[in-house]
Amino acid sequence: MDRIEILGGHPLYGEIRIQGSKNSALPIIAATILHRGVCVLHNCPKIIDVRYMIQILIRIGCEAHWEADTLVIDASGLDSSDIPAEYAEKMRSSIMMLGSLLGRTKEASIPHPGGCVIGKRPIDLHISGLSRMGVDFRESKILEAKAQKITGCPVELPFPSVGATENLILAAVLAEGETRINGAAMEPEIFELCRFLKAMGADIQGEGSPEICIRGVKELHDVEYTIIPDRIVAGTYLCAAAATKGQVRLLNPPKGQLNALLTIMRQMGAVCRQEDGTVVVDATEGTHGVALVETQPYPGFPTDMQSQLMAALAVADGKSTIREMIFEDRFKAVDGLVKMGAHIQINGKEAVIEGVSGLAGTTVQAEELRGGAALVIAGLCAQGMTYIENRVFIDRGYEDICRDLKKLGGNIHSRDS
């Protein structure tokens, strides 16, 4: 079984470069098929989800290869709209192929997407928005979508779903007329998707705000683009610094995207500085709990950081409460943290954490990506050995978490057996 082994109990010190962003790279890779030509993506993270996405593109007739950390995609040969289940069911972002295939071929056949099992994760908002643009859906085990023509129109999202916003943008880029999305998600990954599409020739305004306007264009052109650093990976390493009472500097922090996390870290008593384009978190004087952290759509506190913050609060002085507002089942790391000695009580959407003075290493199971990262953080501050099984979940989003944490002084190794 693939696992991570950690001998904990040491503060993390040092500086680290952050990999390219998973949640930015994946919709952008899906977007490349809108263009009958070549897209060059620099700083693309070599994570499992990106590798699956590449396999999907190859299976539908595209060409893709790596040049160091640059991914080159040539979608001119696309000849199928059938997304293979063996990859689609393993990742959430396979659903982004819906909007881009509709944009390119006016049809798509896609199994229900996989990804982290952290709630029901329906796709009703994707379907209702695309239906308004003229797409007919037939749903059985596989989602079949077809349109005579995709027509721009106003779409109101009752909740700022990241994925639904991305799918609507993707379908609208080559549509006839203007699509105006109201209630759009404002996550930086939406802004970046639009920046990429605009660099390819799309006509988009308002990205980063709740109202995005896309005017359909006839065709796109070749593009070269650099994926931004991953704000969740960056935040994970800052939480590891806080949990181990260490000091970590991010050499290439995602610009302006860590504010919600840094606000909480300051409330915990960590010293957070922005210096010459880097971000430093110094928790060497110890940390204390925070009254309430509530996850919210951007620019609120990100749900993708909730588990890692919980691991840091588990060893902070005093009591904290986390309220998870985005997903119904995102306290998957709690069993493992409690097994390691954390005091955490779950009551519906809320987790109440009583900080303890230390954790003890043991064997725990990663059940999903960020929960797995939280167990790694716990292992780094626990006394003795921690064994985290199912590393594969963590590898979905972290290029090499052991390599990165080793650079910061962690005694951490990966084992395959």
Ligand X SMILES: C=C(OP(=O)(O)O)C(=O)O
Q: Which are the contacts of 220, defined by CB distance < 8 A and separation ≥ 6?
A: 34, 35, 37, 173, 174, 197, 200, 201, 202
- In whole angstroms, the minimum distance from the beta carbon of 113 to ligand X comes to 8
- In whole angstroms, the minimum distance from the beta carbon of 24 to ligand X comes to 11
Nearest to 287 by CA among 305, 265, 308, 307: 265
Whose structure tokens read 């626990």?
382
- Interface residues with ligand UD1 (CB under 6 A) are 23, 26, 92-93, 119-126, 159, 161-164, 189, 303-304, 326-327
Q: Which contiguous run of DSSP H or E holds residue 361? A: none
190 annotated as a binding-site residue: no
- Interface residues with ligand X (CB under 6 A) are 22-23, 91-93, 115-116, 304, 369-370, 397
Nearest to 95 by CA among 58, 134, 133, 127: 127
Residue least distant from ligand X (Cβ): 115
Type of residue numbered 29? I
- In whole angstroms, the minimum distance from the beta carbon of 250 to ligand X comes to 18
Query: How far, in Å, are 65, 93, 96, 239, 391 from residue 54 at the CA level?
Result: 9, 12, 13, 31, 21
Residue 412 near residue 9 (C-beta atoms within 8 A): no
369 binds, among ligand UD1, ligand X, none (CB under 5 to 8 A by kind): ligand X
Concerning whether 213 is annotated as a catalytic residue, the answer is no
Active-site annotation holder among 39, 44, 116, 194:
116
27 annotated as a binding-site residue: no
The nearer residue to ligand UD1, 74 or 395, going by C-beta atoms, is 395
- In whole angstroms, the minimum distance from the beta carbon of 49 to ligand X comes to 6
Residue least distant from ligand UD1 (Cβ): 163
Query: How far, in Å, are 66, 393, 399 from residue 21 at the CA level?
Result: 17, 16, 10
57 annotated as a binding-site residue: no
Q: What is the DSSP letter of 25?
A: H
122 binds, among ligand X, ligand UD1, none (CB under 5 to 8 A by kind): ligand UD1
Strand order in the sheet with 319-323: 293-294, 319-323, 350-354, 343-347
- In whole angstroms, the minimum distance from the beta carbon of 73 to ligand X comes to 20
174 binds, among ligand UD1, ligand X, none (CB under 5 to 8 A by kind): none
Nearest to 297 by CA among 209, 200, 400: 209
The nearer residue to ligand UD1, 264 or 283, going by C-beta atoms, is 264
249 binds, among ligand X, ligand UD1, none (CB under 5 to 8 A by kind): none
The nearer residue to ligand X, 91 or 228, going by C-beta atoms, is 91
Strand order in the sheet with 385-389: 363-365, 385-389, 3-7, 411-415
- In whole angstroms, the minimum distance from the beta carbon of 397 to ligand X comes to 5
The nearer residue to ligand X, 282 or 304, going by C-beta atoms, is 304
159 binds, among ligand X, ligand UD1, none (CB under 5 to 8 A by kind): ligand UD1
2 annotated as a binding-site residue: no
The nearer residue to ligand X, 23 or 81, going by C-beta atoms, is 23
Residue 191 near residue 208 (C-beta atoms within 8 A): yes
Query: How far, in Å, are 120, 122, 131, 162 from residue 324 at the CA level?
Result: 14, 18, 30, 17
109 binds, among ligand X, ligand UD1, none (CB under 5 to 8 A by kind): none
CA atoms of 273 and 19, how far apart (whole Å): 21
22 annotated as a binding-site residue: yes
122 annotated as a binding-site residue: yes
46 annotated as a binding-site residue: no
CA atoms of 130 and 151, how far apart (whole Å): 10
CA atoms of 164 and 157, how far apart (whole Å): 8
59 annotated as a binding-site residue: no
CA atoms of 301 and 171, how far apart (whole Å): 29
The nearer residue to ligand UD1, 185 or 334, going by C-beta atoms, is 185
The binding site for UDP-N-acetyl-alpha-D-glucosamine comprises 92, 121-125, 304, 326
- List, as residue ranges, the binding site: 22-23, 92, 121-125, 304, 326
Annotated binding site for phosphoenolpyruvate: 22-23
Catalytic residues: 116
